Amino acid sequence: MLRATLKSLLARKLRLTLSTLAVVLSVMFVSGSLVLTDTLGRTFDNLFANIYTYTDVQVSAKSAVQEGGNNDTSTPFPASTVDRVAKLDGVAKATGQVFLNGAMPIGHNNKVVVNQTGQQFGGNWAGEDDLVKLAEGRGPQTDNEIVVNKGLAEAASVKVGDSMDVITRDHERAAYKIVGLMQYTGGRNSMAGESTVFFTTAKAQTAMLGAKGAFNVIEVKAASGVSNEKLRDTVKAELGDGFVVQTGKELSEENSKAIKNILKYFNYVLLGFGAVALLVGVFLILNTFSIIVAQRTQELALLRAMGAARGQVLRSVLLEALIIGFVGSVFGFLVGLGLGALGAYAFVGLADGAQVAGLGFPISAIIASFVIGIGVTTVAALMPAVKASRVAPIAAMRESAAPDRPLTKLTVSGAIVTALSAGALAWGLAGAGGGTLALVFGGVLGLLIGVALLTPVISKPLVAALGAALSWSVPGKLGRRNSSRNPRRTAITAGAVMIGIAIVTAISTIFTSLSTALGDTVAKDLQADVVVLGQQTNEVPPVVTLPELAKIEALPEAKTVAAITVDVVKINGEQAYVLSYLDPAAGAATLKATASQGRIDKLDTGEFIVDKKTAENRKLKLGDTIQVTFSKGQQKTLKLTGITNDSAIANGIVLSYADAKEGFAFADPWQVFLSLKDGSSPEQAKAAVNDILKDNPQVQAYTKDEYVKTNQQGFNVALVIVQVLLLIALAISVLGVINTLLLSVIERTRELGMLRAVGLRRGQTWLMVTTESIVITVFGTLLGLVVGVGLGAAIVTALKDVLGFGAVTLPWGLMVLYFVASVFVGGVAGLIPSVRAVRLNVLGAIAYE
């Protein structure tokens, strides 16, 4: 029996290749994403290990607001702290340093020199040490001299002796003379592509920390014989709770962990792709094995007639699945390994300077590959295997396979699964307690499977209608008839197409609805004609300076000018975003906010306003107070003095500018909304504002239309990513279509021979097979579009309260695109089977001996 299985497996190479390919594709994504994350993770481990090689112990002050923010080194402390550490036992040397994010170098084009890391460091020059080396020139001696890292010099094409503008953390722009270029030990131009500007210590203290004589980091060197851990404990005991004291090893691990956390989300996206690939792959594998069993009916029946037990037949098919699963997993894992490593190189290539860690074989990827590959294949083959074991020995004598069984059982189970899943989805979306997300996902998954089960029934009328459109030629008509010959097979093939398209359409519907809603609300509610904002290139936000704001307010066409600043604070111990308008009345007018209770056009220190919904959520009423801890460390009790009506764009907690100025990390306006007097041209006003901002390379003015589009850009990027998902799903379902059609061509060899004998041309044969392919693909696509739009619309409607809007916008353009793509894909999928049909030897096909 084993021999028979293996021989039959090897005898059908094409079948083997196609079904293995399905497993390979599914496994590839899973292993690829795991390998990518693993490689990147180790790359960053190495990177930080390098950075902190020479650090024994480092001290920084704890932030008042950021949680777990040991990474936040922006809280300054006086030089006396350094002295306290230096005097401790076991300390060889304690050096106060200024080193933090937020020094924006300006290039020749008057734009900020951006890098991919989001890190633009500014620090004090403390001379060369183990890590920092001068490559050229000397250190800064006066406040207008700087040293920059060689990577930045190359990116901005500047050299020693050149002048360069830098915007420091205090948002002051000034010109500096480059007197030296630095490298890290080992000749590295940067650690990972970041930029660093070194000032004199005094300049760094005022420009980066805003405090004379202050530092934000202490580098502590251990005296000989003192371990880093012991040193850490000594320093900790001296400085107390307000400081974070870590060894180099701890810092390296922590920084690496932070990046790995970001990578984790990246990994989720990739694994999501893998999951979709897997889902479609399951259909493909299921289909392949149904086909294999159908093809082998006579062979299996013969084995049964010669005395093979049911169990033996069952095991024979399962063994075949096991082999295909194993081979597919091996290849899938290897291809994934290659792709993951390639991805890591591409990713790290963005940040020059970092070195990719060597190729690794993460255990998780190996286990996942084999469990998924073999497991999914075996489970998918189980149903066909059971069917195979039921093949009656008499089938060996029959001319062809028995006609399709009735679809009743399938339809009933499909209807039940669909109804249950729809119920679960509805319940989940209505927000039923804790398991909501699980309910929604389970519902979506179940719904897809339910619809797939119903596909054979739906396929009859729909395929007939579809085919009618293609029946203008005899081959087209024949192809259409062929596609409705075996509803099960057509349906399961179309089902694979359906799932991919449905998922993509659902996501596209949600994003398009979001994007449109956002655009609509902004267009409707925002009373501004010109908006000023910038792109954030590091943790320091781009801002409009107060003098610039004054000039904008002084423009003759300006009616109202609303300037907004944002920060994170702790409210009653919990982190929250808060806003502040420089002029609350202008803010309310621009955002079309109206008072529900109290007054909203004026805010004094110690007061705040909220929108109605936030007030309800936080159970606040007029006169209530909250405890706020600001970034800069102050604590204040604020009183609620006004509640606004619900508005789509104005919500959250709004503080007085007096409090913001004192407590916010960056109190200058992040965004400015300018509304114009009647009859003024937004384009002209925009030009005038940009003229005012010509020395501010961080921000730019946009007209309202441009602003709306910018806001929607994020969704457009997301939509593009979704299309990649579509490509993956389609690629796998194409294999299914090819598989099905190849089988059909093989099964109908005699018919094809007859048709050719009575005068069907090669071109017509191709047309016939291609029509069938297109009908199946288009059928799956239409079904997917309907299911996808339904799902998307259901989710948007159900999440109305969460998202703040409930209008569904259908992605018509994309849907048409999917449809056209499916016709094309159907045509491509029909190619291989067509070639096989066209090349058919007429004589061989009709010979009966």
User: Which whole-number Å values give the CA distances from 827 to 741, 767, 771, in the listed order?
Assistant: 12, 9, 8
Whether 320 contacts 292, CB under 8 Å: yes
Cβ closest to another protein, residue 451 vs residue 755: 755
Q: Does residue 489 bind another protein (CB under 8 A)? A: no
We find the least distance from the C-beta atom of residue 762 to another protein, in angstroms, to be 7
Single residue of 127, 307, 547, 759 touching another protein by CB under 8 A: 759
How many C-beta neighbours within 10 Å does residue 595 have? 14
Q: Is 4 exposed, middle or buried (0-12, 13-18, 19+ CB in 10 A)?
A: middle
| Interacting span for another protein (CB under 8 A) from 83-91, 174-182, 438-446, 476-484 | 476-484
Q: Fill in the per-residue mask, 692 to 711: x = in contact with another protein (CB under 8 A), - = not in contact.
A: --------------------
Q: Does residue 434 bind another protein (CB under 8 A)? A: no
Q: Does residue 472 bind another protein (CB under 8 A)? A: no
| Interacting span for another protein (CB under 8 A) from 169-177, 249-257, 733-741, 756-764 | 756-764
SS3 702: strand
- In the 8-state DSSP scheme, what is residue 208? I
Q: Does residue 842 bind another protein (CB under 8 A)? A: yes
User: Which whole-number Å values give the CA distances from 783 to 350, 439, 463, 497, 670, in the listed order?
Assistant: 41, 23, 11, 9, 47
Whether 543 contacts 698, CB under 8 Å: yes
Number of residues that bind another protein (CB under 8 A): 26
We find the least distance from the C-beta atom of residue 730 to another protein, in angstroms, to be 28
Cβ closest to another protein, residue 96 vs residue 487: 487
* Residue 204 to residue 212: CA distance in whole angstroms: 9
Q: Is 87 exposed, middle or buried (0-12, 13-18, 19+ CB in 10 A)?
A: exposed
Single residue of 757, 807, 816, 820 touching another protein by CB under 8 A: 757
Q: Does residue 481 bind another protein (CB under 8 A)? A: yes
How many C-beta neighbours within 10 Å does residue 478 have? 21
Cβ closest to another protein, residue 831 vs residue 842: 842
* Residue 74 to residue 168: CA distance in whole angstroms: 13
Q: Does residue 751 bind another protein (CB under 8 A)? A: yes
Token pair for 63: 């932030």
Whether 112 contacts 105, CB under 8 Å: yes
Q: Does residue 405 bind another protein (CB under 8 A)? A: no
* Residue 598 to residue 582: CA distance in whole angstroms: 19
The H or E element spanning position 575 is strand 574-581
Q: Which residue has the tokens 């909304």?
A: 673
Token pair for 617: 């959520």
| Interacting span for another protein (CB under 8 A) from 156-164, 332-340, 695-703, 752-760 | 752-760
Q: Does residue 750 bind another protein (CB under 8 A)? A: yes
Token pair for 528: 């501004």
Q: Does residue 758 bind another protein (CB under 8 A)? A: yes
Q: Does residue 398 bind another protein (CB under 8 A)? A: no
Q: Does residue 764 bind another protein (CB under 8 A)? A: yes
SS3 34: helix
Whether 54 contacts 247, CB under 8 Å: no
We find the least distance from the C-beta atom of residue 466 to another protein, in angstroms, to be 16
Q: Does residue 676 bind another protein (CB under 8 A)? A: no
Cβ closest to another protein, residue 486 vs residue 580: 486
- Let me know how long the chain is: 849
Cβ closest to another protein, residue 359 vs residue 757: 757
Residue of 522, 547, 530, 544 lying closest to 673 (CA atoms): 530
Cβ closest to another protein, residue 203 vs residue 748: 748
Token pair for 658: 């007096």
| Interacting span for another protein (CB under 8 A) from 186-194, 329-337, 698-706, 755-763 | 755-763
How many C-beta neighbours within 10 Å does residue 280 have? 28
Q: Does residue 754 bind another protein (CB under 8 A)? A: yes
| Interacting span for another protein (CB under 8 A) from 307-315, 537-545, 749-757, 769-777 | 749-757
Cβ closest to another protein, residue 84 vs residue 460: 460
We find the least distance from the C-beta atom of residue 352 to another protein, in angstroms, to be 59
Cβ closest to another protein, residue 611 vs residue 747: 747
Single residue of 230, 236, 257, 485 touching another protein by CB under 8 A: 485
Token pair for 514: 């979001």
Cβ closest to another protein, residue 325 vs residue 467: 467
| Interacting span for another protein (CB under 8 A) from 51-59, 176-184, 472-480, 804-812 | 472-480
We find the least distance from the C-beta atom of residue 759 to another protein, in angstroms, to be 3
Q: Does residue 10 bind another protein (CB under 8 A)? A: no
We find the least distance from the C-beta atom of residue 453 to another protein, in angstroms, to be 25
Cβ closest to another protein, residue 304 vs residue 756: 756
Whether 33 contacts 340, CB under 8 Å: yes
Q: Does residue 592 bind another protein (CB under 8 A)? A: no
Cβ closest to another protein, residue 41 vs residue 475: 475
Q: Does residue 474 bind another protein (CB under 8 A)? A: yes
Residue 633 is which amino acid?
G
* 649 Cβ contact partners less than 8 Å away, ≥ 6 residues apart: 521, 522, 525, 526, 591, 592
Q: Does residue 437 bind another protein (CB under 8 A)? A: no
Q: Does residue 762 bind another protein (CB under 8 A)? A: yes
We find the least distance from the C-beta atom of residue 409 to another protein, in angstroms, to be 23
| Interacting span for another protein (CB under 8 A) from 93-101, 142-150, 238-246, 475-483 | 475-483
Cβ closest to another protein, residue 138 vs residue 762: 762
Cβ closest to another protein, residue 609 vs residue 768: 768
We find the least distance from the C-beta atom of residue 832 to another protein, in angstroms, to be 20
Cβ closest to another protein, residue 481 vs residue 613: 481
Cβ closest to another protein, residue 230 vs residue 485: 485
Whether 459 contacts 414, CB under 8 Å: no
User: Which whole-number Å values give the CA distances from 547 to 60, 118, 698, 747, in the listed order?
Assistant: 34, 27, 15, 81
Q: 443-448: long-range contacts (C-beta < 8 A, 24 or more apart)?
A: 444/506, 444/791, 445/279, 445/421, 446/417, 446/418, 446/420, 446/421, 447/418, 447/421, 447/422, 447/787, 447/791, 448/279, 448/498, 448/499, 448/502, 448/503, 448/787
| Interacting span for another protein (CB under 8 A) from 114-122, 473-481, 575-583, 807-815 | 473-481
Q: Does residue 171 bind another protein (CB under 8 A)? A: no
Token pair for 72: 């936040």
Q: Does residue 464 bind another protein (CB under 8 A)? A: no
- In the 8-state DSSP scheme, what is residue 209? I
We find the least distance from the C-beta atom of residue 12 to another protein, in angstroms, to be 24
User: Which whole-number Å values give the CA distances from 165 to 136, 190, 380, 696, in the listed order?
Assistant: 20, 20, 64, 11
Cβ closest to another protein, residue 306 vs residue 758: 758
We find the least distance from the C-beta atom of residue 347 to another protein, in angstroms, to be 53
Q: Render 324-358 in DSSP notation, one character per residue.
A: HHHHHHHHHHHHHHHHHHHHHHHHHHTSTT--PPP
We find the least distance from the C-beta atom of residue 462 to another protein, in angstroms, to be 17
We find the least distance from the C-beta atom of residue 769 to another protein, in angstroms, to be 14
E-strand stretches of 109-223: 120-124, 132-137, 145-149, 163-167, 173-184, 195-199, 214-215, 217-222
Cβ closest to another protein, residue 477 vs residue 592: 477
Tell me which residues touch another protein (CB under 8 A): 403, 474-475, 478, 481-482, 484-485, 750-751, 753-762, 764, 842-843, 846-848
